[in-house]
Every structure is written in C-alpha cells, then in structure tokens.
Amino acid sequence: MQMRASGFPFRTIFHPTDFSADSHTALIHALKLAVLANGQLSMMHIDPAVPRSDFEDFPRIRPILEQWGLLPANSTKAHVAQLGLTIKKARATAASPADAFLAYLAEHPADLLVMATHQYEGLARWQHRLVAEPVARSSRTATLFVPTHVEGFVVKESGQPRLRRVLIPVSAQPTPQPAVETAAQLAAALGCDNFTGILMHVGDDATLHTIRYPSRNGWLWHTLTCRGNVVDVILGMGADFDVDLIVMTTEGHQSISDMLKGSTMERVLRGARCPLLALPV
C-alpha cells in the first residue's frame, strides 16, 4: 500500500466528468491527488436523457495507474485497493448538471472538487451553460479548476509532478494564510524539492509581513508588490513567471458587481493559463 502523504488536506475528491477529451487533464489531476491521499475519488456524469445501465464510457482508471507504474499489467480491483485508493462512479439524469452535482455533494460531501472549465468572457458567458463556477461557489468546497487545453502540474503519461512555481495573490481580506499553507502541503505531498511560492500583493504590502511561510530545504518564498488592476496584474504575473498553479482564498460574491462580473477569483480563472485552486474562507 502506498503511504498517505503527511499533512495532505484532501482525502475525498469529487470529479464531475462529461467523458470528453477536454476533461481528461482534470481527471489526471483528480486521480493523482486521490492516490497521494490514499483517499476516495468519486466521478459523476449527468445524462440529459435516461442513462444506460452500464458505465463502460466512464474513464478507465486502472490503465492510467498501470501506465504510471503504480499497478502491474492486467491489474484487478484488488490491486487498486492495495494502493489505499477507492473509486466510486455515479450517474444520474438531470436538466441542470450544476443542480445535480450540488445535490450529490449535499449527500456526499468532498474535501476537494476537481473540475475542467471552459474559459468564456463577455457575451459568450451568457450563451454557454456554466457549471464549474456555480458548483464551486454554491458548495463552498475547495476546488481545483483545470482549464481545458492546459497541461497542468501532473504529467499525463507518467503521473509525475511538475509543480515548480505557485502564484498566491495576497489581500488583507480574505486572509491568504490558508493559501500559503495549502500550497506548501501540496508541494510537500508531491515531493517537490525545488519549489517557489510567489506572493503578490496589489497596493499596500502590510499583509505580506503577517504571513507565516513553511520552510523546507530547496523551497523559496518571494514577495512582490504591484500596482494596477488586480485581475490584470495576477494574470500578467502568472504569465511572466510561467507558474504551474495559482492558489487563492475567496469569499465568493460580495457585491452586485461580483454577481454581474464574477468575483476576483472567477475573473482570474477566465484568463488563467494554468490550474487554479480556490479555497473558500
């Protein structure tokens, strides 16, 4: 049995899937984190019509774990159990995927959602049915958003981590400390010896001096202060430093403007070119 990563905060992971190639990278990340946790990965698909009785179109997990070298060839469910990993699959019919996912989470709470997300702006957001953002916002659950067409911080072919640089936007409210600690726990669990956390504050940097920084050989923490539009600055920093992950604490919608335009986290998500881990506080 693989040892559970010490201090890893996510044991139960929920991954909605539409069986598309776009959602495969999100699945890879969900599976990697579930393996690290010796935890449970629950996958759910919503059919607009009556579902079939078989689950053959659900992504097959054992071939991925075999490719990663964690299971022998032609493995069985017993081999998966020996990893300390539990896989659950659920399927339902519903007109609204978001409502169905939220109903499932109400009965089966998770520590982490891992969701593929399409990035729409302006009129396109009103023309496409949104799922990832409403589910994360309403469930108040930590969510790893994986934009389609990004590689992310887990190599698909090998399952090896590629988490080198993490960007953590900082503000006085909500407190950034959970983001710092979670980024460090994730880096430790992934075995990242060369890890850099970049804390970026737009405006007054007083908050930066109140943060506790976890230490480990090979880890670096950089702090930066910037001026400008907070969303533009975060996205610019993410591109300039070629970060592998953005970690943000979020309070959700706090104003009418947030309801119309989205929270700061949601607006960053729409332009991010790497996964984003949102932590509700």
Residue 281 lies in a domain: no
The boundaries of the domain holding residue 199 are: 165-275
Q: Same domain, yes or no, for 260 and 203?
A: yes
Residue 72 lies in a domain: yes
Residue 180, token pair as written in the block: 């710092």
Determine the Cα–Cα distance for residues 155 and 16; give it in Å rounded to an integer: 20
Q: How far is CA 151 from the centre of its chain?
A: 13
Q: Count the domains in the chain.
A: 2
DSSP per-residue string spanning 25-65 = HHHHHHHHHHHHHT-EEEEEEEESSPPPS--TTSPPSHHHH
Q: Same domain, yes or no, for 142 and 16?
A: yes
pLDDT at 137: 86
Bridge partner list, 127? none
How many CA atoms, within 13 angstroms, populate the side-chain half-sphere of residue 15?
31
Q: Same domain, yes or no, for 85 and 188?
A: no
Residue 154 lies in a domain: no
Q: Same domain, yes or no, for 28 and 110?
A: yes
Q: Same domain, yes or no, for 141 and 169?
A: no
Bridge partner list, 161? 154
Q: Where are the alpha helices (DSSP H) in the chain?
A: 24-37, 62-67, 77-82, 97-107, 123-127, 132-139, 177-189, 230-240, 256-261, 264-271
Q: Same domain, yes or no, for 270 and 192?
A: yes
DSSP reduced 3-state for 210:
helix
Determine the Cα–Cα distance for residues 193 and 97; give it in Å rounded to an integer: 39
Residue 32, token pair as written in the block: 């990697």
Residue 157 lies in a domain: no
User: What CATH number is attached to the domain comprising 122?
Assistant: 3.40.50.620
What is the bridge-based pairing of β-strands 143-147 and 276-280? antiparallel
Per-residue pLDDT of 84-141, as tens digits, reads 999 999 988 888 888 999 999 999 999 999 999 875 444 333 333 567 888 888 889 9
Residue 158 lies in a domain: no
Count other Cβ atoms within 10 Å, centred on residue 163: 22
Write phi, then psi, for 125 (nearest 5 degrees): -70, -30
Residue 4 lies in a domain: no
Q: Same domain, yes or no, for 77 and 141?
A: yes
Determine the Cα–Cα distance for residues 78 and 83; give it in Å rounded to an integer: 9
Q: Same domain, yes or no, for 174 and 203?
A: yes
Determine the Cα–Cα distance for residues 25 and 2; give it in Å rounded to an integer: 23
Q: Same domain, yes or no, for 224 and 196?
A: yes
Residue 52 lies in a domain: yes
Q: Same domain, yes or no, for 245 and 207?
A: yes
pLDDT at 255: 45
- 281 residues of the chain, pLDDT tens digit each: 444 455 688 999 999 988 888 889 999 999 999 999 999 999 998 876 655 555 556 788 999 999 999 999 999 999 999 999 999 999 888 888 889 999 999 999 999 999 998 754 443 333 335 678 888 888 899 999 999 889 999 999 999 999 999 999 998 888 899 999 999 999 999 999 999 999 999 877 777 888 999 999 999 999 999 989 999 999 999 999 999 999 999 986 454 444 444 578 888 998 999 999 999 98
DSSP reduced 3-state for 214:
coil
Residue 152 lies in a domain: no
Q: Same domain, yes or no, for 191 and 136?
A: no
Q: Same domain, yes or no, for 183 and 78?
A: no
